[in-house]
Structure 1
Amino acid sequence: MNDTQVLNIAVQMLVEMGKLAAPVLIVSMAVGIGVSLLQSITQLQEATLSFVPKLAAVALVVVFAGHWMINSLVGFTDHMYRLIPALLHAG
């Protein structure tokens, strides 16, 4: 196993983790901006007011996208396990 293969695996892993984290992060950011806008309009500055909607939104994302996330992660893991014999013989 050479350094090119290690870097290729690391890049694949980072891309996969980015794809899995993106829905949660994007929804959390959008809800956070919306709640901050609402707080600045109403001048209601309560810390827990921003936490609860984000938690609910992230929970909904996990409920709706969780199946895709698990399938994607299992597929990536399966792909990595299938690479093991080729990596052992390449070294």
Structure 2
Amino acid sequence: MSSEFVISLAEQAIYTVLIISGPLLLLALGIGLLVSIFQATTQIQEQTLAFIPKIVAVFIGIVFFGPWMLSRMISFTYDILNNLHNYVG
């Protein structure tokens, strides 16, 4: 196993993690921004107010994006296990 092969495999793994986690992170970022704007306009300074909408949004995002995320993870795992002979030798 060459160093280029290991780097390529690590690059694919990192790319897969970013693609899978991206939608949920962007959703949490958007909801957090909206809650922060709401807090700034109403002058509510409660620190824990942002957590509940983010948690609800991420759960809804998991329900909506979950099948797609799972199919990407299964595809990556299948590719790894299907090419296992390349990794061992």
On whether the aligned pair clears a TM of 0.5, the verdict is: yes
Structure 2: tracts of 5 or more residues without a match: none
Percent identity reads 31
Cα deviation 1:7-28 (Å, max 9, x = unaligned) = 0000000000000010010000
Provide the C-alpha distance between the structure 2 equivalents of 1:62 and 1:24, rounded to a whole number of angstroms. 7
Which segments of structure 1 move beyond 2 Å, counting only runs of 4 or more?
86-89
Query: What CA RMSD, in Å, does the superposition of the two structures yield over aligned residues?
Result: 0.9
Structure 1: segments with no counterpart, 5+ residues? none
1:69 equivalent in structure 2: 69
Q: Name the structure 2 match of 1:32.
A: 32
Distance 1:87 1:4 in 2: 12
Q: TM-score, normalised by structure 2?
A: 0.95
- Aligned-partner SS, 2:28: helix
TM (norm. structure 1) is 0.93
Structure 1 residue matching 2:83: 3-state secondary structure: helix
Name the counterpart of 1:20: 20
